[in-house]
Amino acid sequence: MNAKSVGLSILLGTSLLIFSCSKKEEASINVNTIEIGQIDKKATESIEKFISGAKYKILKTGDKFFAEITKLIIQNDRIYLLDGDRGQIILIYDLDGNLLNFISKTGSGPGEYRQPTDLWINLDGTIELLDEAQRKIITYSKNGDFINEMKLPFAAEKFIKTNSKYFFYTNNIAFSFKEDSNETGLVISTNLNLTNPEVIVPADMLRADFYYVTTQNFTQVNNSWYFFDAFSNRLINLSEGEDIILDFGELNFPTDFFTKEKKRGIDVMNDLYNLGKVWDIGAIYDTESYLYFKFQINLTVYMAFYDKEKGTTNVIPRDNWNVNMDCFVSRFDPLTAINNQLVFHLLPSQIKMLKELNCFPADKLKDIDENNVLMFWDIN
């Protein structure tokens, strides 16, 4: 796929728009619009064009079990892994994949959790864990010892922390959090004591009966934190900087898609799979050279590499990675980005199948035993 057919360029200058669903409600917002050109659904560009190398780290789990990485952080020369699903465990590795420590404290007492959904590592190495079920943030020392916990006045699924605030993604499940008020939000901020909640992005009540889980809703671009939603092409700056719009033109997700008539999740998904518009924008990561993101049209998932210097991108349909669709035992959504690398997780069953079907990157996995592996893609 050539750059012209899917050209993606930042508009010169800055446009001013009104956005009623952000922290700057009723105010003019500076917006950086990225225009995405025509998407060639028959493109034959290979993903390997953008990957200069692939490195692997085997995670030596010992007798500790994890099934899926729901959050991955690489910081302080450590790899922090959260399995908030079946494993309900935090595992801490060195950069060579050696297990250093773990936190496994399920329950309802102090320092215990029932539904861990997100993780944050402070600069001093202390670990903060969000327990959605018990509406609290638990803080552990860098060695995994319980320090304290704070109660949340609302339910939340994901969070980030800045120098002065927390920001929480509620997935429309916040409920009322102010006395004598029905006010709620899709994104809510608090101070560092988890008090003084403020709606940053209002909840969409037309979606109240539709629960859609994504792996990521906060991302950093140029050192600024942004929130994004699977059903919007807008990245909302959580500070005072510009919002970012990924403009797909006539393929933009329709703002009137969710109506009072769309109640059942299965009906919504059937409509999405036949909509012919861009939805499920996610896995947005800022590397040194590219802004990477993925999106979906009907049942096809696309990878996009936006070249920040040239102002162009290439979009690769997932079904063009390999003719054999059985190759896609994983959606290949990266879990994080470091410098100019995207980091993925491969389960033993996925590695085995990739080898058997000779799918990319099977040739680079030939010397890798079938263990839990982190795959680092070096982006050209």
Mean pLDDT by 10 residues, the chain (380 residues): 34 30 51 78 65 84 84 94 90 94 94 95 96 96 95 92 94 65 82 93 78 83 90 90 90 87 73 92 89 89 85 73 45 81 84 75 70 84
Question: Is 17 a domain residue?
Answer: yes
* pLDDT given at position 18: 28
* pLDDT given at position 2: 35
Question: What's the CA gap between 57 and 95, in Å, rounded?
Answer: 8
> What residues form DSSP beta bridges with 35?
9, 247
First to last CA, the chain: 16
**Cβ density class 66-83: b for 16+ within 10 Å, e for less:** beebbbbbbeeebbbbbb
Question: Is 225 a domain residue?
Answer: no
Question: Is 358 a domain residue?
Answer: yes
* pLDDT given at position 239: 85
Question: Is 128 a domain residue?
Answer: no
Question: What's the CA gap between 375 and 330, in Å, rounded?
Answer: 13
Question: Is 283 a domain residue?
Answer: yes
pTM for this prediction: 0.85
If we measure between CA atoms, which residue out of 155, 171, 318, 300 comes closest to residue 230?
171
2-13 pLDDT, tens digit each: 333 333 333 323
Residue 270 burial by Cβ neighbours in a 10 Å radius (0-12, 13-18, 19+): exposed
Give the domain range for residue 38.
Answer: 1-61+240-380
Question: Is 377 a domain residue?
Answer: yes
Domain count, the chain: 1
Question: Is 363 a domain residue?
Answer: yes
Question: Is 93 a domain residue?
Answer: no
Question: What's the CA gap between 242 and 116, in Å, rounded?
Answer: 32
* pLDDT given at position 7: 34
* Residue 247 near residue 36, CB atoms below 8 Å: yes
347-379 pLDDT, tens digit each: 777 788 777 777 666 676 777 766 788 988 888
In Å, how far are 289, 335, 336 from 332, measured between CA atoms? 20, 9, 12
